[in-house]
Amino acid sequence: MKQKIKIAYCLPSLYIAGGMERVLTIKANYFADVLGYDVYIILTDEKGKKPYYHLSSKITIINLDIDFNELWNKPLYKKMYIYLKKQQKYKVKLRNCLMEIKPDITVSMLRREINFISQIKDGSIKIGEIHVNRENFREISEKKETSIHKLLSNLWMKQLIKKLKRLDKFVVLTHEDAEKWNELTNTIVIPNPLPFFPDKQSSTEHKKVIAVGRYTWQKGFDLLIDCWHLVHKKHPDWTLHIYGEGERDKLQAQIDKLELNNSCILEHAVPDIINKYIDNSIFVLSSRYEGFGMVIIEAMSCGVPPVSFTCPSGPRDIIKHGEDGLLVKNGDVELLANSIIYLIEHNDIRKNMGEKARMNVERYKIDQIAQEWNNLFLSLIAKKGK
């Protein structure tokens, strides 16, 4: 008889429209609906708020109601005391929860529970899952690190490494990033799954270029706008559409200054992003860093060839340069512009790359990615002798 796996995921919340939350939802739904897992998602914050992404009715959500978000409204001198109290409360509640559920597998999304998850003796296999590359794991802004900040970050990383060594497995998204966790011997690479694979695809004949992401420093849209200024000079009949939400004013001021209002448009995020991809002929990723780069595989699944910086981490794993897209030295605005211009001026190459992109990206379909996870779980369970 086929073994039914019971799995518990630990993370702060599901109400945010974030990448980690989206990917977890895709996987959890597949595990519950297709593979027949018993899936539990254990949350700490925002009790009562509905998940942003649709969750299968077969999945059990447990909210421990720790409310770490309360820390944001407290003065600095109170934060540490409150954090330590909440962390201890979380440790006790999570331990009791896991002892009651008795999962085969417990997965930490590398949030606060990573500090103690391996100490909980509930009998479950402990896995860590990271959705950001190592270099930028704690980076939250464009501010340059001070020497003190770097020292504290290094100390924090050393402590994290000790915690990760105690895990049964540590899952990263790319081979590029896996190489950077060289202190560990328990890493494995499993990429993110595609959220969709549409029946339709781009004709690559529209004079439109698309970029997708939050309007933040990380996504490098300031670099992309400078790049587009160069593209526009040579091909004023083409337009760039950037879909996202966030810090618009600074980017719009840059567009205004460069007089690109009619060819570079900041769009709002849309639920039908598939149709937007299909309506465009080139996709651009200008990020300073990524955890994986879901938008790249999304665009490729729609037959749109990508042009991307070789930022850490993701693009090098996903794109086969010259076959299904173009890779550009990280941060090189002029080279990014020249690569876009190259695809604009070579219709057949653009179309062929789009076709190849759609074929090559099939390896990220949820059926295949879920099977990689299932194989990992089964191998760990067999090793443990359950």
Nearest in space to 296 (alpha carbons), one of 285, 282, 310: 285
Residue type, 375: N
Tell me the mean pLDDT in the region 163-178: 97
Tell me, yes or no, if the two domains 6-193+365-384 and 208-362 fold the same way.
Answer: yes
pLDDT at 386: 53
Q: How confident is the model at residue 290 (pLDDT cuts 50, 70, 90)?
A: very high
d(CA 380, CA 188) in angstroms, rounded, equals 12
Residue 286's pLDDT band (cuts 50, 70, 90): very high
For the domain made up of 6-193+365-384, give the CATH fold.
Answer: Rossmann fold (3.40.50)
More confident residue, 272 or 94: 94
Q: What is the pLDDT of residue 139?
A: 57
User: 309-364, pLDDT tens digit by residue?
Assistant: 999 999 999 999 999 999 999 999 999 999 999 999 999 999 999 999 999 999 99
Does 2 have pLDDT greater than 70?
no
Q: Say what the pLDDT of residue 136 is.
A: 83
Gyration radius of the chain over CA positions: 22
Q: What pLDDT score was predicted for residue 302?
A: 98
**Rounded distance, CA 359 to CA 313, Å?**
22
Question: Which pLDDT tens digit goes with each residue over 107-166?
Answer: 999 999 999 999 999 999 999 999 999 988 865 445 556 677 777 778 889 999 999 999
pLDDT digit string (tens) for 18-34?
889 999 999 999 999 99
Domain boundary assignment for the chain = 6-193+365-384, 208-362
Q: What is the mean pLDDT of residues 75-90?
A: 87
Distance in angstroms (rounded) separating the CA atoms of residues 113 and 383: 24
Q: Which pLDDT score is estimated for 69?
A: 86
Q: Which fold has domain 208-362?
A: Rossmann fold (3.40.50)
Average pLDDT, the chain: 94
pLDDT at 1: 40
Residue 79: pLDDT band with limits 50, 70, 90: confident
- pLDDT for position 140: 44
CA neighbor of 173 nearest in space, from 323, 27, 325: 27
CA 274 – CA 360 distance, rounded (Å): 18
Q: Which amino acid is at 354?
A: G
**pLDDT at residue 73 in the model:** 78
- Asked whether 265 and 240 are in contact (CB, 8 A), the reply is yes
Point out the least confidently predicted range of 13-22, 52-61, 346-355: 13-22
How far out from the chain centre does Cα 113 lie? 20
Q: How many C-beta neighbours within 10 Å does residue 39 have? A: 25
pLDDT at 141: 45
| Nearest alpha-carbon partner for 113 in 31, 43, 23 | 43
Q: Is the distance from CB of 95 to CB of 138 less than 8 angstroms?
A: no
Sequence-distant (6+) residues with CB within 8 A of 225 are: 251, 254, 255, 258, 260, 264
Can you tell me the distance from the alpha carbon of 327 to that of 174, in angstroms, rounded to the nearest whole number?
16
